[in-house]
Amino acid sequence: MSAFSPLEARNTAYAHIQKEIQALEAAIRALKTHHNSLSSISRLPAELLSQIFELLACTEDNYTAERNSYPHWIGISYVCSQWRHVALECPRLWSDIQCTLYPRWAMEMLKRSKIAPITVEGRTAWGSYATLNTGNAVMAALGQLPRIEHLTLNLQGRCELEEIWSSLSGAVPLLHTFHIYSEDYLAMLPENIFSGPGGAPQLRCLSLDGCTLNWTSEFLRSLTHLTVARVPTGC
């Protein structure tokens, strides 16, 4: 068979060669997997590996985060098939939903965190394509309100407050910390915030900056820490 052979014969040869290449690639992958399984680190059980991965995720600082469009620890899922499997099957590893830093990853992290308690941080400004992605990520995260443990919202620019307040009207059985910051205007939290059945029984820390609320709200009863800033006198 050569370049001068009939087209039909060359196509048959192409198909045969491609099958051989795929078979060889599969054999190489199998050998690499076997090679990795012989290393000392392969002795570690999945439970211990997942704890190490979680510790790695906690080491990311703001400087590193701002330079990347993805969490730095994501690279562990590309080391080998075993590490990838452990990472994907560890919901807590994906539970820190940074909507502002990683809006494109937020949806995937919400899915991979499964039913684990989550931490959510994000700006709620709408406008440019980037902030639109962030806003959409925040709204998707607020759709998981019952499993949010720590929530930080930064209200900026022109944002859809009614949609945000509606998302916060349900119960938050796990919420422990709630920080809300309004940059451009005084935001009045609605009467029905966290008013779903059961309310916010675990809420202990509340921080309001540029915001106010009805100070007789039920969810304030369980607080142990309260920080208030930039609220006009009389509010």
pLDDT of 128:
46
Same domain flag for 110 and 221: yes
Same domain flag for 112 and 224: yes
Same domain flag for 112 and 189: yes
Round to whole Å and give the CA distance between 202 and 149.
9
Listed residues 52, 68, 92: the one ending a domain: 92
- Identify whether the C-beta of residue 219 lies closer than 8 Å to the C-beta of residue 200: yes
**What contacts 228, CB < 8 A, 6 or more positions away?**
207, 208, 209
Same domain flag for 100 and 197: yes
Same domain flag for 72 and 179: no
- Identify whether the C-beta of residue 186 lies closer than 8 Å to the C-beta of residue 232: yes
What is the number of domains present in the chain? 3
pLDDT of 125:
61
Asked if the model's pLDDT at residue 5 lies above 90, the reply is: no
- Identify whether the C-beta of residue 125 lies closer than 8 Å to the C-beta of residue 158: yes
Round to whole Å and give the CA distance between 223 and 235.
19
- Express as a percent the part of the chain with pLDDT over 70: 89
Is 2 a member of any domain? no
Label residues 80-118 b or e (16+ Cβ within 10 Å = b).
bebbeebbeebbbbbbbbbbbbbbebbbebbebbeeebb
Asked if the model's pLDDT at residue 157 lies above 70, the reply is: no
pTM recorded for the entire structure = 0.78
Span 84-127, pLDDT tens digits: 999 999 999 999 999 988 888 898 999 999 999 999 998 876 55
Is 3 a member of any domain? no
Span 140-154, pLDDT tens digits: 999 999 999 999 999
Asked if the model's pLDDT at residue 66 lies above 70, the reply is: no
Q: How many CB atoms sit inside 10 A of residue 228's CB? A: 13
Same domain flag for 61 and 122: no
Asked if the model's pLDDT at residue 63 lies above 60, the reply is: no
pLDDT of 218:
86
Round to whole Å and give the CA distance between 187 and 159.
11
pLDDT of 217:
87
pLDDT of 150:
97
Domain of residue 22: give its range: 10-42
Same domain flag for 196 and 164: yes
CATH number at residue 209: 3.80.10
